[in-house]
Structure 1
Amino acid sequence: MSRHLDFPFRIDARGRSAGTTDEDHVRDLIEQVLFTVPGERVNRPDFGSGVLQLVFAPGGQELAGAVEYSLQGALQRWLADLIQVERVEVASEEAELRVTVRYVLLSTGEPGTAVLEQGAGP
């Protein structure tokens, strides 16, 4: 039985709120932290990372290193009670951003990897 609502919210085949596993819930939380723009949430204006603004930014090793460092900091700030972030890798090609997060679930000690992709357009 699932203990968490799936993200994004949807209705399952039974007509109920869709649920998800603990591992998928953590991946959903990582996605929310990474792709929420600071200021987007009313009661938590500092929540998020602002990484989507970098899709069209000029690239380079220095920028990639800074982005990876800031994303790791955002994940540690908002999800420190659930995961230990091991590594964050960011790749940007054309109008697509790919973020790979390697982490350890604190509740089980199991390693996990979340690969998240986001395009700049609709």
Structure 2
Amino acid sequence: MRIDFPYRVDARGRTATVDHPGHVRDMVEQVLFTSPGERVNRPDFGCNLLDMVFAGNSPELAATLEMTAQAALQRWLGDLLEVQSLTVTSEEATLRVRVEYVLKATGESRVVTVSGGVVA
């Protein structure tokens, strides 16, 4: 078991833990939501998802985000998962990111969807 992200205390009053698939999902969120330069010892960690949320929404923005997010996931989590598909759609004022991946340790398929800053 690993510490859950974001950090919280569970019902027993202890540090909340999560299993391997949940830990990898947490790390996918961290890569997507961390801006390069935000981490002191890893200044190139993350992708520009948060910076692009405030850019003009367009198909070009979606294509750019697809490329940068997929590259960041491959670089930082390539030993834990294999990205099957990453799609970014722009609908009016909403940017939606859907990541489908396979856990290398178990072969299990997983999906993470981020929309308007809310993970589903």
Structure 1 contact 56–95 (Cα < 8 Å) conserved: no
Report matched runs for 1:1-122 at 5 Å: 3-93=1-91, 96-119=94-117
Q: TM-score, normalised by structure 1?
A: 0.87
Alignment RMSD:
1.5
The residue type paired with residue 83 of structure 2 is V
CA offset at residue 60 of structure 1? 2.5
Deviates more, 1:88-97 or 1:4-13: 88-97
Q: 2: CA distance between counterparts of 1:94 and 1:42?
A: 35
Q: TM-score, normalised by structure 2?
A: 0.88
Q: How many residues are paired up?
A: 117
* Secondary structure of 1:81's aligned partner: coil
Counterpart of 2:55 in 1: which secondary structure? coil
Letter in 1 for 2:62: A
Gaps of 5+ in 1: none
Q: Any gaps of 5 or more consecutive residues in structure 2?
A: none
What CA distance in whole angstroms lies between the structure 1 residues aligned with 2:38 and 2:65?
Answer: 19
Aligned partners of 1:55 and 1:92 also within 8 Å? no
Q: Percent identity?
A: 56
Equivalents in 2 of 1:58, 1:24: separation in Å? 33
- Aligned to 1:37, the other structure's residue is in SS state coil
